[in-house]
Chains A and B, each alone.
Chain A
């Protein structure tokens, strides 16, 4: 049981490049979310999903796309990277109901130059 797996752990992009951050969970969790964390800004929700085929925008969705074709995977796509997207990205998942919270991946540290 690996939990939430994020790849890559580190990435450097040039402005204008696109890439996909991968997130996979093996806990059969229905809910999955993407957050970005910047110094002094806490965790801000980018996109979230309550099940396969269902996604919705969070607080800061601009410049990012997501899809949820399976329960396990929730990739985050950066369409045209900008320096403002330099951040640490966390994927998280949850059963959705019941007393448990979200399980977070170890994060992807992205730098856009």
Chain B
């Protein structure tokens, strides 16, 4: 099945600094999804990217899908303590089934 590599595994930032996590695939992806998991919680769906070169924004979060549809990134501007958690990318089969997750990037924010 499709696999994605996610980096970095950990990121520690000071509050107000920016944060970026990256997902890379060796194959072309039909789409990519992003999830956030707070400590002790469950993954929560953030967004799905489908189109080549797509950029979507949710407040301080910017999501990008590469032109070749083989990589994606999530960028957080001016992090806040509420951003703490693990961010996962995930790729489904074309039909939407069998969602495979990257290993996640664990973000800690020092106030």
Contacts and interface: CB of A to CB of B under 8 A. Distances in A.
Interface of A: 31, 33, 35, 40-45, 48, 50, 56, 58-59, 90, 92, 94, 96-97, 99-107
Contacts of B102: 42
B97 A106 contact: no
Contacts of B100: 45, 59
Interface in B78-111: 88, 90, 95-104
B103 A41 contact: yes
A45 B99 contact: yes
B98 A56 contact: yes
Contact of A104 (B33, B43, B98): B43
A100 B90 CA distance: 13
Task: Please list the 4 inter-chain residue pairs (A to B) with the smallest Cβ-Cβ separation, ordered nearest first.
Answer: A101-B45, A42-B103, A43-B101, A104-B42
19 contacts: A42-B88, A42-B101, A45-B100, A48-B97, A48-B98, A56-B98, A59-B100, A90-B42, A92-B99, A94-B96, A94-B99, A96-B95, A99-B50, A101-B33, A102-B33, A102-B43, A102-B99, A104-B43, A105-B42
Given A41-B103, A42-B101, A42-B102, A97 B42 contact: no
Q: DSSP majority for the B interface?
A: loop
B35 interface: yes
Contacts of A44: 101
Interface in B18-50: 33, 35, 41-48, 50
Interface residues of B, number: 24
Contacts of A106: 41-42
Given A45-B98, A50-B97, A96-B97, 14 more contacts: A43-B101, A43-B104, A45-B101, A50-B95, A59-B100, A97-B96, A99-B48, A100-B48, A101-B47, A101-B48, A102-B45, A102-B99, A104-B42, A105-B42
Contacts of A104: 42-44
Contacts of A33: 98-99
A4 B111 CA distance: 34
Contacts of A92: 43, 99
